Amino acid sequence: MGEDHQHLFIDFEFTMPERSERFKGFYPEIIEAGIVSVVNNQICEKFSSYVSPVRFPVLSDRCKSFLNISQEQVDSGISFLQLLNKLQEFSSNYPKNTVVTWGNMDMKVLRKNCDQAGVPFPINGKEIDLSMEYKRFFGDQNQTGLWKAVQEYGKEGTGKHHRALDDAMTTFNIFRLVEKDKRYLQKHEPTTIGDRVDFSKFLNEFA
């Protein structure tokens, strides 16, 4: 993480449908955003806001219950275009950006929402799905949930699960742990049997 390189840890919460004519043609929309800007391993800025959905403005009971979110909270949130402006602002602060999310849904939904609104994607830079990196690194067969992953490290998640900023912070914490493990493995190459046994001393005993 160099001085000209920003890592953006992003988490979004989305609308959820129910079986109803009201949700015909449904696609998920962002209703809460959490962003953590990190440069040189230091947190530079945090951003958190509810976002008002456009296509399906009334939340389903399932969505409110699962995310513990109210209609009033999203109604008083920023607009989707204001969220895009904020993302663009973050992206333009540094020449190099890497977006880190847990899973690929956050960026998929952001792209879909941009397409539906007829606006360009706001972030330039590389994208990392940390859940896949984690899966490859530990050789897991299945993708692990965010909070299960942090507990496997013997830690606890930050704040509450399914709160966007708390999940973005938890993603940052796992990223640091995985990067530390990667560096450790690079420095400690497996020794050969020749490194472990001094054969000259061993042979002298039989001379």
Q: How confident is the model at residue 201 (pLDDT cuts 50, 70, 90)?
A: low
Q: For 5-63, what is each residue's pLDDT tens digit? A: 999 999 999 999 988 888 899 999 999 999 999 999 899 999 999 999 999 999 999 99
User: Which position among 7, 13, 29, 32 bears the catalytic label?
Assistant: 13
Query: Which class for 12: exposed (0-12), middle (13-18), buried (19 or more C-beta within 10 A)?
Result: buried
Three-state DSSP class for 135? helix
Q: How far apart are CA 194 and CA 93, in angstroms?
A: 51
Q: Is the pLDDT of residue 133 over 50?
A: yes
**In the structure, what pLDDT confidence band is assigned to residue 156 with cuts at 50, 70 and 90?**
low
Q: Round the average pLDDT of the chain to a whole number and report it.
A: 86
Q: How confident is the model over 77-88, as a mean pLDDT? A: 98
Tell me which of 3, 156, 162, 189 is the catalytic residue: 162
Q: Into how many domains does the chain fold?
A: 1
**Is the per-residue pLDDT at 68 higher than 60?**
yes
Asked if 13 is an active-site residue, the reply is: yes
Tell me if 195 is assigned to some domain.
no
Report how far residue 138's alpha carbon sits from residue 187's, in angstroms, rounded to the nearest whole number.
18
Please state, in angstroms and rounded to a whole number, the distance separating the CA atoms of residues 67 and 58.
14
* CA 8 distance to own-chain centroid: 9
Record the pTM.
0.83
| Residues whose CB is less than 8 angstroms from the CB of residue 96 and which lie 6 or more positions away in sequence, other chains included | 2, 4, 5, 6, 125
What pLDDT shows up at residue 138? 73
For residue 41, being part of any structural domain is answered with yes
Beta bridge partners of residue 102, listed in sequence order: none
Q: What is the pLDDT of residues 104-126, one digit of tens each?
A: 999 999 999 999 999 999 999 99
Residue at 182 is within a domain: yes
Burial 106-141 (b: 16+ CB within 10 A, else e): bbebbeebbeeeeeeebbebeebbbbebbbeeeeee
Task: Round to the nearest angstrom and report the end-to-end CA distance of the chain.
Answer: 55
pLDDT band at 1 (very low <50, low <70, confident <90, very high): low
pLDDT band for position 194 (cuts 50, 70, 90): very low
User: Which has the minimum average pLDDT: 60-69, 128-137, 179-188?
Assistant: 179-188
Q: Is the pLDDT of residue 207 over 70?
A: no
pLDDT at 2: 62
**pLDDT score of 143:** 67
Question: Residue 64's domain spans which residues?
Answer: 5-189
Asked if residue 190 has pLDDT above 60, the reply is: no
Give domain status of residue 62, yes or no. yes
CATH number at residue 130: 3.30.420.10
Asked, for residue 200, whether it belongs to a domain, the answer is no
For the residues of 68-105, what is the DSSP string, one character each? T--HHHHHTSB-HHHHHHHHHHHHHTSSEEEEEESSSH
- Give the model's pLDDT for residue 186: 65
- Rounded CA gap, 93 and 101, in Å? 19
Q: How far are the Cα atoms of 71, 114, 138 from residue 131, in angstroms, in the given order?
A: 30, 24, 11
Q: Is residue 203 part of a domain?
A: no
pLDDT (average), residues 156-179? 84
